[in-house]
């Protein structure tokens, strides 16, 4: 599972705090139960705004504690909302065997964004290249979209 976080200026400080809180809850109640410690479900995390900042790939952590530490330490960077670059990075770099992706584990990508991509058409192209979202919902004060790709 790869979590992709929008930390652009359009998210704002308040929603950034909601994102961090949501991820802490996700880690405590979901990731902790996904057998990360057994190595069955690898987790990766990146943030993006004008640039993409990978925090850790699928092969870096095999226990929940360092994932929780990484989630509590990433910063709000502001900048443009380059969703297309983030999704391209996920597809070409993070979902590779070199980064820890395995054929025996379904590939899931969760994108938390305010939905205001700097280049919506390019973002849609990369969404299509990843695969069709099986669920599109809103979260975080109804201002952020969640995309799940399997």
What per-residue confidence (pLDDT) applies to 51?
95
Give the C-alpha separation, 22 to 144, whole Å: 12
Q: Counting Cβ atoms within 10 Å, is residue 58 exposed (0-12), middle (13-18) or buried (19+)?
A: buried
Residue 38: which pLDDT band, with cuts at 50, 70 and 90?
A: low
- Residue 118 CA to its chain's centroid (Å): 18
CATH top-level class of 2-149: alpha beta
* Domain assignments of the chain as residue spans, ordered by start: 2-149
Higher confidence at residue 37 or residue 96?
Answer: 96
User: Average pLDDT, stretch 97-104?
Assistant: 86
Instruction: Encode 71-82: b = buried (16+ Cβ within 10 Å), e = exposed.
Output: beebebbeebbb
Q: What is the rounded average pLDDT of the residues 77-82?
A: 90
* pLDDT above 90: residue 88: yes
- pLDDT grade, residue 36 (50/70/90)? low
Residue pointed to by tokens 């999704």: 87
């Amino acid at each position: 599972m790869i979590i992709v976080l929008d930390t652009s200026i359009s998210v704002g400080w308040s929603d950034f705090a909601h994102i961090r809180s949501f991820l802490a809850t996700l880690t405590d109640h979901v990731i902790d139960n996904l057998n990360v410690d057994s190595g069955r479900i690898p987790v990766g995390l990146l943030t993006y705004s004008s640039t993409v900042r990978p925090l850790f790939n699928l092969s870096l952590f095999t226990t929940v504690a360092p994932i929780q530490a990484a989630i509590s330490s990433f910063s709000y960077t502001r900048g443009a909302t380059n969703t297309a670059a983030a999704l391209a990075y996920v597809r070409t770099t993070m979902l590779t065997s070199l980064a820890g992706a395995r054929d025996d584990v379904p590939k899931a990508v969760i994108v938390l964004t305010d939905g205001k991509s700097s280049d919506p058409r390019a973002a849609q192209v990369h969404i299509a290249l990843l695969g069709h979202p099986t669920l599109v919902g809103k979260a975080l004060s109804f201002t952020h979209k969640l995309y799940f790709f399997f």
